[in-house]
Amino acid sequence: MCGFAGFLAPAGFSSQAGVDIGQQMGRAILHRGPDDGGLWHDHEAGVLLSHRRLAILDLSAAGHQPMASASGRYVIAFNGEIYNHLTIRRKLETAGQAVEWRGHSDTETLLAAIDAWGLEKTLQEAVGMFAVALWDRSARKLTLARDRIGEKPLYYGWQGSGSQRVFLFGSELKALKAHPQFTADIDRGALALQMRHNYIPAPYSIYRGISKLRPGHLLELDGRGEQALDSRPYWSLDEAVLRGRAAPFAGSDADAVAALDKVLHEAIGQQMLADVPLGAFLSGGIDSSTVAGIMQAISPRPVKTFTIGFSEEGMNEAVFAKDVAQHLGTEHTELYVTPAMAMDVIPRLAHLYDEPFSDSSQIPTFLVSQLARSHVTVSLSGDAGDELFGGYTRYNLASRLWNSLERIPGPLRSLAGGGIRALPVGGWNAVGKPLLAMAGKNLGNVGDRAHKFAGLLAERDRMQVYRRMVSHWDEPARLVLGASEPSNYFSARGAGAADADYYDEMMLADMHTYLPDDILVKVDRAAMGVSLETRVPFLDHRVVEFAASVPLHMKVRDGQGKWLLRQVLYKYVPKEMIERPKMGFGVPIDAWLRGPLREWAESLLDERRLQNEGYFDARAVRAKWQEHLSGARNWQYHLWDILMFQSWLDRWQHGA
């Protein structure tokens, strides 16, 4: 895993000036590749590639980038891993298309395949995670490409004008910002999306004119810069899902368990290939325990596993992770996090994430990455099990809710929602909490739940119900001054596919949005911030395609998600060690904002400051802040969205 950046200046550039700029862009992402750095440029053609290397395969100089193909036609800057690159080498050798290998890096394999097959076929053959910038010296063409699900980031866009017009690209925004033509104009529509989702979904970024390349897409640009920036897919998640539905897995339950175990063995086995120390994150949950269990079954020696724990009751899964580790026989390391340790991370978040990002589990994710990096250079994770096998509890909740709501006429639902909202949150708490207490239940803030339910009643179709369920600010364009919320997956998709199960639609939505733009961003930036490579076996596209073919009743059974994945896990870990309520991976932001973070938050949410900056409706923000401080409402997620933007604004715009 590495990082790269570069630019294409159609008017050409001064050789020395371009080199200086390229070095600055590379230094901005030094953390992604501390082992080596390189530059390649053709100032007459106007192209420069800058690369930072975290050496994983072939630690010698034979893996140095940017790298030219054996033919000399192509030059590549590559970030990621091609797990089946040895298989690709054998295919080339069998066909008589192999080169005289200089080393054993996957970058060299990739270039040889591109020389023989072209880029698009090579990407279709490749199993891995990657972002690629490829310069074709013969055709004078730049191509950018990103892996199928979006594990590796890639930003791009035009900046400057006239003879100074330049096309920038790179692994992180901080590399693009190092170019003198970069203009940091904030996109208020993208900010509205962040307020809704706590992340900015592709293709948008926080800056106008800068986009994220969509997963599974490639983008071609000729050397004159005249070609439109229309990316196209070389692999489609939607098509993979449709193929799976058209030809579903037809075997028995036992057959399905064996088939999933087999495909996971192959994926994990390939992802254990490395010339540096390797381990795994282990939370003790289903997904990470499955990955660790198969790794240990494959490995001839104890696998290194890592977890962090919390002293707060109801938040600590470290004890369960330790039990799983002891059962598997891994070499386990755990770290118990104090509030002070977690809060020390907060000032680093704006630099790590480059653009506003407010999933608060970014804090423990950074800490577990930091822990792992002190022992290994590569760590496998269990991300994506929920999206592939129906694991989120919100899927079941939304499904049951919509089954009830769709029987009620829309006008009647809207009327009922208005009636619920007529009683303030405090009123619902006063009425509901005693009644629930008498029934022996505690659902927290009853009023918040009642008003959230009222909003769901107003939605017209099931995908809009799900959108509201996963939203923070329901009407972010009213919060962000001068904003219009751009089209995104939910608005473009409408009501969803009529012939698809609601569960399937929700899982697919998360695969397109929440997974690549929240989960994978969170892990990539946190891990690369400490120069740790992370690998996600569940996102091997063969696993994804197999999961798409598995009938829903093998994923969700008796209201419980991940049925099939659980059966695989039970081959390695006893059922009683796993079956317990999911705790998540969060931190008590709500209490911290009323306590140790109050002064920090108050300075960022100062009313005069908000008014002067002009991004938010200051009254709306202050109202939520005061309600939160009083304990009347818990607005932790809404406030964290704003605080992460304000902190980012201080870091990147104000230079604080």
Q: How far apart are CA 197 and CA 203, in angstroms?
A: 14
Is the pLDDT at 517 greater than 80, yes or no? yes
In the chain, DSSP finds a helix count (H) and a strand count (E) of 32, 17
For residue 228, name the pLDDT band (cuts at 50, 70, 90): low
Phi, psi of 430 (to 5 degrees): -65, -35
pLDDT at 419: 79
> 381 a known binding residue?
yes
pLDDT at 655: 62
Q: How far apart are CA 227 and CA 606, in angstroms?
A: 46
Point out the least confidently predicted range of 82-91, 232-241, 308-317, 618-627.
308-317
pLDDT at 406: 86
Point out the least confidently predicted range of 101-110, 257-266, 508-517, 584-593.
584-593
pLDDT at 454: 80
Q: What is the DSSP string of 203-225?
A: T--SBTT-EEPPTTEEEEEETTS
Summarize the confidence of residues 182-193 as an average pLDDT.
Answer: 96
Contact 379, 280 (CB under 8 A): yes
Is the pLDDT at 439 greater than 60, yes or no? no
Phi, psi of 390 (to 5 degrees): 70, 40
pLDDT at 414: 79
Q: What is the pTM of this model?
A: 0.94
Is the pLDDT at 646 greater than 60, yes or no? yes
Domain 2-235: assigned CATH number? 3.60.20.10
Summarize the confidence of residues 489-518 as an average pLDDT.
Answer: 85
> 404 a known binding residue?
no
Domain 248-390+509-577: assigned CATH number? 3.40.50.620
Q: How far apart are CA 497 and CA 404, in angstroms?
A: 19
For residue 312, name the pLDDT band (cuts at 50, 70, 90): low
What the block records as the tokens of 638 is 């809404």
Q: How far apart are CA 221 and CA 218, in angstroms?
A: 10
For residue 551, name the pLDDT band (cuts at 50, 70, 90): very high
Query: How many angstroms separate the Cα of 127 from the Cα of each of 79, 83, 86, 88, 509?
Result: 14, 6, 11, 10, 23
Is the pLDDT at 617 greater than 60, yes or no? yes
**How much of the chain, in percent, has pLDDT values that exceed 70?**
93
Cβ-count burial 171-193 (b if 16+ within 10 Å, e if not): bbbbbbbbbebbeeebbbbbbbb
Q: Which residues contact 507 (CB under 8 A, 6 or more apart)?
A: 387, 388, 390, 395
For residue 585, name the pLDDT band (cuts at 50, 70, 90): low
For residue 460, name the pLDDT band (cuts at 50, 70, 90): confident
Contact 136, 73 (CB under 8 A): yes
Is the pLDDT at 497 greater than 70, yes or no? no
pLDDT at 226: 67
> 549 a known binding residue?
no
- Model confidence pLDDT, tens digit, residues 1-29: 689 999 999 989 999 999 999 999 999 99
Q: How far apart are CA 52 and CA 497, in angstroms?
A: 43
Please choose, from the candidates 43, 33, 53, 29, the residue with its C-alpha nearest in 3D space to the C-alpha of residue 178: 29
pLDDT at 231: 87
Is the pLDDT at 238 greater than 80, yes or no? yes
Mean pLDDT estimate for the chain = 91
Is the pLDDT at 435 greater than 70, yes or no? no
Summarize the confidence of residues 514-530 as an average pLDDT.
Answer: 97
> 287 a known binding residue?
no
Summarize the confidence of residues 59-71 as an average pLDDT.
Answer: 88
- Model confidence pLDDT, tens digit, residues 75-106: 999 999 999 999 999 999 999 998 889 888 99
Point out the least confidently predicted range of 124-133, 430-439, 599-608, 643-652.
430-439
Is the pLDDT at 139 greater than 90, yes or no? yes
Summarize the confidence of residues 260-283 as an average pLDDT.
Answer: 95
Higher-pLDDT residue of 383, 342:
383
For residue 444, name the pLDDT band (cuts at 50, 70, 90): low
Please choose, from the candidates 440, 439, 296, 276, the residue with its C-alpha nearest in 3D space to the C-alpha of residue 372: 276
Tell me the domain boundaries of the chain: 2-235, 248-390+509-577, 394-506, 589-653
- Model confidence pLDDT, tens digit, residues 157-182: 999 998 899 999 999 999 999 999 99
Summarize the confidence of residues 365-392 as an average pLDDT.
Answer: 97
**Active-site amino acid positions:** 2
Please choose, from the candidates 103, 122, 126, the residue with its C-alpha nearest in 3D space to the C-alpha of residue 114: 122
Point out the least confidently predicted range of 144-153, 477-486, 577-586.
577-586
For residue 442, name the pLDDT band (cuts at 50, 70, 90): low
Please state whether 401 falls in left (phi above 0), alpha (psi between -120 and 50) or beta. alpha
Cβ-count burial 535-572 (b if 16+ within 10 Å, e if not): bbbbbbbebbbbbbbbebebbbbeeebbbbbbbbbbeb
